[in-house]
Structure 1
Amino acid sequence: MTQAALPQSTVRKSWWRRNQIAITPYLFLAPGVLFFAVYVIIPIFQSFGISLQDWDGLGQPTYVGFENYRELGNDPAFYTSLKNNVWWLLLYLLAIPAGLGIALFLNQTVTGIRIYKSLFFFPFVISQVVVGLVFTWFYDPAFGLLNVMLGWFGAGPINVLGDPRYVTFGIILAGLWPQTAYCMILYLTGLNAVNPEQIEAGRLDNAKGWRMLWHIVLPQLKPATFIAFVVTIIGALRSFDLISIMTQGGPFGSSRVLSFYMFEVALSEYGFRMGYGAAIAVVLFLIMLCFIAYFLFSMYREERR
């Protein structure tokens, strides 16, 4: 009997059986890809389109081309925000070696290690709003613990959040507290996967201390380091909540970053300039894209090797 003489349902069933293994992964991926396209990819292109318009979010948008981007080039607040983002990016990376150091300490078998792990893990589980409030009280020039400790050494009170010279670094320090805890968790997970046979082989070759860490442990922690770099860089570039809680961009706009400035011009007292805010968002997205593309290329090159 030929295939043409078989019932249509039998032909379909046999086709499904022949291709079931190949098609099943795509069926599982389809819902995730659909949601990612609707809520991530499409809004990215919409932001590009809005950045070319003059729009208040309610009325009829007016196409202005690249006028919003030309205005960014002459906006001092934009350059202040960009400079602060650079500081966030550079100093936020300190969370990676700090998290590694804490993870190496907590990976030891000493008395009370579970209590230490809980204390270092605590900043990661609390809200960023709580972190911002805690450090706002910590920096308070009247009763804050920072100025109390400075008084022990005869130093005068410092208004960290009220001084344009110190405010950005004070907020970054607050952000480093939970970010270091996150990197610590990544490295603790990576240390559990370190091959003990390589450790023993290194000890037989008289590798100790920094030599053991640099040549044997760190190469096996590359996946954790990669994730830590990507998450830390993205977190530094999209920093918003701590700035909103601690300073609202002040004093005099000196603690703004691109994400907070985007919020101000699009949804705050600057007149609901959605097109100008979208232009800032596009610039921030392109900066993130450069870092992400670099790390993905590095990972692809390592996999090929």
Structure 2
Amino acid sequence: MSTTAPPRPAAAAPPRRRRRDDTRLALLFILPASIGLLVFLVWPLLTGLYYSFTEYAILTPPQWVGLENYRTLLADPVFWTSLRVTVVYVLINIGVQTVAALLIAVLMQRLTQSTWLRSLVLAPYLVSNVVAAIVFLWLLDSQLGIVNLALQGLGVDPISFWANESWVIPTIALVNVWRHMGYTALLLFAGLQSIPEQLYEAARTEGAGELAMFRRITLPLLRPILALVLIMTIIGSFQVFDTVSVTTQGGPADASKVLQMYIYENAFAQYEFGYASALSVALLLILMVITFAQYWLSRAGQSDLD
């Protein structure tokens, strides 16, 4: 007589683990950065915006004057001169820096990807702006600078790089090109890594040369990264100050008085903090217009790889 075993009870399903809520931990981690953002960015921005509508000389309470500072700004010839000088500086600095950085990035990608080479390219960026300005101030001195001594050896008259109105802004721009182009090149180099190598192999199969591949593959696919890098570098170039302060202090004859230098003079030399704040707000508006226009025209948020 056969007996059938009683059915085994079904195994109880393991209890579902409750998903851990890390919201509090995440808020704890971002709290220091949030405090720094509020204290060092948001609060100064709001305070400066308020002061731009006041007459404020730091020793007396600010007095509300409405749009008077902005009316003075629009009629101030030094403001327009400093704006023109800044635009000339930005055009030279960004134009040369972008071309040089793009060339370095492409050469690093096509010829070598050595870590040591990347370190050498980045080395000038690790030098302080003030230190770089002092070194080039000595190198380009009209009497004792090694550059002018070399030019004299070649039979060329000495050039007053820092005292000539025609030379001073190109000189400052190229000094900052030397310091920043390695960092810009590494940003572009990182963007080049996102371009599939198969595209270049297919182009070589079709007989395309390096120049044709650069024009038809590299540039179009690098456009979003290049646009964002240009936005970053243009914003930084409009804020140039330390190189000018160390070398020329705005001279000769205001030929190198960029906007940041003019803001500094009004705030800390003439103690017109209200007017200096209005100049800062004007610079902020200029940068916002340039940034949004460039972002829209270059379609920085779209990629041709999609």
2:123 corresponds to which residue? 122
The alpha carbon displacement at 1:108 in A equals 4.0
Q: Does 1:288 align with 2:287?
A: yes
1:35-74 correspondence to structure 2 within 5 Å: 35-74=36-75
The alpha carbon displacement at 1:67 in A equals 1.4
Aligned-partner Cα distance in 2 for 1:299–1:194: 16
Write the deviation string for residues 226-267 of structure 1: whole angstroms up to 9, x where unpaired.
Answer: 332022101110001100111111223321111111011101
2:162 corresponds to which residue? 161
Aligned-partner Cα distance in 2 for 1:91–1:164: 15
Which structure carries more helix by proportion? 1
2:102 corresponds to which residue? 100
Instruction: Find the residue that maps to 1:59 and give its secondary structure.
Output: coil
If the length of structure 2 is used for normalisation, what is the TM-score?
0.83
Q: What amino acid does structure 2 have at the position aligned with 1:100?
A: L
Q: What amino acid does structure 2 have at the position aligned with 1:259?
A: Q
Write the deviation string for residues 75-127 of structure 1: whole angstroms up to 9, x where unpaired.
Answer: 222122101111122112221111011122233446x9666544432211111
Aligned-partner Cα distance in 2 for 1:126–1:171: 16
Aligned-partner Cα distance in 1 for 2:303–2:294: 10
Aligned-partner Cα distance in 2 for 1:49–1:292: 24
1:179 corresponds to which residue? 180
The alpha carbon displacement at 1:23 in A equals 9.1
Q: What 5-or-longer segments of structure 2 have no aligned partner?
A: 1-17
The alpha carbon displacement at 1:149 in A equals 2.8
Q: What 5-or-longer segments of structure 1 have no aligned partner?
A: 1-16
Aligned-partner Cα distance in 2 for 1:119–1:35: 33
The alpha carbon displacement at 1:150 in A equals 2.1
Aligned-partner Cα distance in 2 for 1:292–1:166: 29
The alpha carbon displacement at 1:188 in A equals 2.1
1:204 corresponds to which residue? 205
Aligned-partner Cα distance in 1 for 2:150–2:115: 29
Aligned-partner Cα distance in 2 for 1:47–1:223: 33
2:191 corresponds to which residue? 190
Q: What amino acid does structure 1 have at the position aligned with 2:195?
A: V
Moved more, 236-245 or 136-145: 136-145
2:255 corresponds to which residue? 254
Moved more, 139-148 or 149-158: 149-158
1:225 corresponds to which residue? 226
2:88 corresponds to which residue? 87
Structure with the greater alpha carbon radius of gyration: 2
Structure 1 pair 216/21, CA: closer, same or farther in 2 (3 Å)?
farther
